[in-house]
Amino acid sequence: MTQSKALPQPIRFIKGGVLHTLHDVPPDRTLLEVLREDLHQTGTKEGCGEGDCGACTVVVGYLQGGKLQTHAVNSCIKLAHSLDGMALWTVEDLAAPGGRMHPAQEALVQCHGSQCGFCTPGFVMSMAALCEQAGQKPITRESAQQALSGNLCRCTGYRPILDAACQMQALPPMPLDSPALRQQLKALAKSVAADAASTRSAHPAYLAPTTLPNLLALRQAHPDAQLVAGCTDVGLWVTKQHRQFARVLDTTRVEELRQVDRYPHHIAIGAAVSLQDAFAALVKDRPQLQSFADRFAGLPVRNAGTLGGNVANGSPIGDSMPLLIALGSHIVLASTRGYREMPLESLYTGYRQTCMAADEVLAYIKVPRPQRGALARVYKISKRTEDDISAVCLALQLQIHKGQVTHASVGAGGVAATPARARATEAALRGQPWTEATVRAAMDTLRAEFSPISDMRASGDYRRQVLGNLLWRFWLESQGQFATDIHRLDLELQA
């Protein structure tokens, strides 16, 4: 018997208050392609095709607990089918019917925040999302910088753009949310759920299960389907490597995997929890991680990407893994055969290779709660402060009792074929007095433990030197050195 060809499912979304239904969209077609080529709405620009420049930024919305949640995301690497059942705003949708501009647009005009204009629609959309999420809370320079961290201005006109972001609340509001939109989304959700439960197509090309048992059953039935979450990496396979996928299995609608559950001794982060929400959960227990979370990626990438996707990807420069390794995290793999749990570092068998079976998915990341007296830090060295891939990432967690190191856990990224645990360094620290002599000896051990390669981001020698320097920085911070000492070390690390 000849198997039926996989058929693209319709995509339904609310845009400009109108329900759009698109048919015959390939499963690997991006939202940006649909906007520009199919809908002929070219206000959204095509820049890097990587999620780095923000020219393609749009705002998506969905209901959660009856409330509208809105996020700025990169349309260039977002698969169009992932929009099914949601609301979408592009720069064409912001002005009022009478022509009055949205506060984000008006503020940019008043502050002369547009230079050549190519990036402006992306900035407008990030600002509109910020305006929506801020509500009555004031927008500060810092919050504006965070919201615009994923948008690049090639004319370097950041000062007037940031001025506009801070001043747009002084203008008459134009909220994206409305009772009518929420009603539309509720009706659309019922339609999407009914179609998912029906047998419209025995072999759909884009699979988007809503429960974990359904996800596992589909993974078993379609082991060759491309598994996706936020597509912040898989999207580049489409745009840069021109890969094509006959069938896609989307994990982001699985309710069980979208939760963060807190237990007495650990938190369990579902694999489909966004990076933004996952880091918020980690920062709640460990506030010192906030600056690292803000530097992980631009905000649109953190809004779309998931912690589970970053871990399962297995990239040696995936910044979440060194941190999670240092914190002693475990991962839970799931299949129709059951569950199995292991330390996170045991997942990796080689460069971008894991021990996951073809019918398994990463379901949860279990992170221990902090213990009293534990010292935990994570350091990222990159050429740009924000929105950049690290050359080296080092995370450390030490437990010190009566001046002696009783526990040491060290995770490293960018220095081996996989994210790695620095076991020799841990052994060099464990049971030793927490003194300068111990640290200097451990620095030599850490530098010798890995053989990093040289590439466009850094040389192998630089990476080895930085590894030891970061351990020395950790020592200085543990001793309460003055900020001038830390600043001096920062300059040495960048030299």
Residue 128: give its domain's CATH number. 1.10.150.120
Q: With bands split at pLDDT 50, 70 and 90, how would you rate the model's confidence at 450?
A: very high
Return the pLDDT at 204. 84
Quote the pLDDT of residue 484. 43
Query: Is there a single domain that holds both residue 84 and residue 101?
Result: no
Q: What pLDDT digit, counting tens, does each position of 222-249 carry?
A: 999 999 999 999 999 999 999 999 999 9
Q: How far apart are CA 149 and CA 170, in angstroms?
A: 22
Helices (H) and strands (E) in the chain, counts: 17, 19
| Weakest mean pLDDT among 74-83, 189-198, 324-333, 335-344 | 189-198
Residue 14: closest CA among 96, 105, 83, 92: 83
222 & 343 share domain: no
Query: Between helices 120-134 and 103-110, what is the axis angle to 10°?
Result: 120
Q: Does 146 share its domain with 190? A: no
313-322, 382-391, 469-478: range with lowest mean pLDDT: 382-391
Considering the domain architecture, whether residues 352 and 206 belong to the same structural domain is answered as no
Of 255 and 204, which is predicted with more confidence? 255
The answer to whether position 1 is within a domain reads no
pLDDT of residue 156: 86
- Same-domain pairing of 74 and 217: yes
> Does position 202 have pLDDT exceeding 60, yes or no?
no
Residue located via tokens 């475990």: 330
Residue 207 domain-assigned (yes or no): yes
Give the whole-angstrom CA distance, residue 114 versus residue 106: 11
Angle at 279 between CA 151 and CA 84, to 5 degrees: 65
Query: Which tokens hold the place of 235?
Result: 């999207």
Half-sphere exposure of 166 (CA within 13 A, CB side): 12
pLDDT tens digits, 7-41: 668 999 999 999 999 999 999 999 999 999 999 99
CA–CA separation, 212 and 210 (whole Å): 7
In a domain, 4, yes or no: no
Question: Distance between CA 302 and CA 147 in Å, rounded?
Answer: 11
Residue 389: pLDDT over 90: no
- Model pLDDT, residue 494: 52
What does the alpha-carbon distance between residue 446 and residue 467 come to, in Å, rounded to a whole number?
Answer: 7
| Distance of alpha carbon 438 from alpha carbon 398, whole angstroms | 13
End-to-end CA, the chain: 66
Q: What is the mean pLDDT of residues 201-209?
A: 78
Of 142, 170, 198, the residue that ends a domain is: 170
Beta strands in 194-299 (DSSP E): 206-207, 226-228, 248-250, 260-262, 266-270
In this prediction, residue 187 carries a pLDDT of 94
The string of pLDDT tens digits covering residues 117-175 is: 999 999 999 999 999 999 889 999 999 999 999 999 989 889 999 999 999 999 999 99
- Residue 331 falls inside a structural domain: yes
| pLDDT surpassing 60 at residue 432 | yes
Q: What is the pTM of this model?
A: 0.91
CA neighbor of 196 nearest in space, from 211, 186, 181: 211
pLDDT value at 317 more than 70: yes
Split at pLDDT 50, 70, 90, the class of 487 is very low
Which position has the token pair 């970053």?
A: 310
Rounded to whole angstroms, the Cα distance separating 265 from 257 reads: 20
- 265 and 395 in a single domain? The answer is yes
| pLDDT at residue 495 tops 60 | no
Tens-place pLDDT, residues 53-96: 999 999 999 999 889 999 999 999 999 999 999 999 999 999 99
Look at residue 182 in the predicted model and tell me its pLDDT: 96
Listed residue (351, 346, 285, 286) closest to 318, CA to CA: 351
Task: Select the more confidently predicted residue: 355 or 482.
Answer: 355
Residue 67 and residue 197 share a domain: yes
Residue 473 shares a structural domain with residue 425: yes
Please tell me the total count of domains within the chain: 3
- β-bridge pairing 226-228 and 361-368: unpaired
pLDDT of residue 244: 93
**How far is it, in rounded angstroms, from Cα 152 to Cα 251?**
30
Which domain range does residue 184 map to? 11-92+177-250
- Per-residue pLDDT tens for 292-315? 999 999 999 999 999 999 999 989
Coil vs helix vs strand at 394: strand
Task: Tell me the sheet residues that pair with 377.
Answer: 396
Domain of 310, CATH number, reads 3.30.390.50
Domain boundary among 110, 139, 170: 170
Q: Report the mean per-residue pLDDT for the chain.
A: 92
Residues 288 and 215 both lie in one domain: no
Domain stops at, among 128, 147, 170: 170
Q: Establish if 394 belongs to a structural domain.
A: yes
Residue 193: the pLDDT is 79
Amino acid 7: pLDDT: 60
Does residue 5 lie in a domain region? Answer: no
Question: Is residue 263 domain-shared with residue 145, that is, in the same domain?
Answer: no
What are the φ and ψ backbone dihedral angles of 258, each rounded to 5 degrees? -105, 10
> At 197, is the pLDDT very low, low, confident or very high (cuts 50, 70, 90)?
low
Quote the DSSP letter at residue 90. -
Helix, coil or strand: residue 246:
coil
Within a domain: residue 3? Answer: no
Q: What is the β-pairing status of strands 206-207 and 248-250?
A: parallel
Same domain, 350 and 479: yes
Q: Using an 8 Å Cβ cutoff, are 38 and 27 in contact? A: no
Output the pLDDT for position 387.
80
pLDDT of residue 493: 46
Confidence of residue 196 (pLDDT cuts 50, 70, 90): low
Residue 112 DSSP SS3:
coil
Q: Contact 322/332 with Cβ under 8 angstroms?
A: no
> Are 265 and 229 in the same domain?
no
CB 34 within 8 A of CB 25: yes
Q: Is residue 6 part of a domain?
A: no
CATH number of the domain encompassing residue 223: 3.10.20.30
Q: Is the pLDDT of residue 481 over 90?
A: no
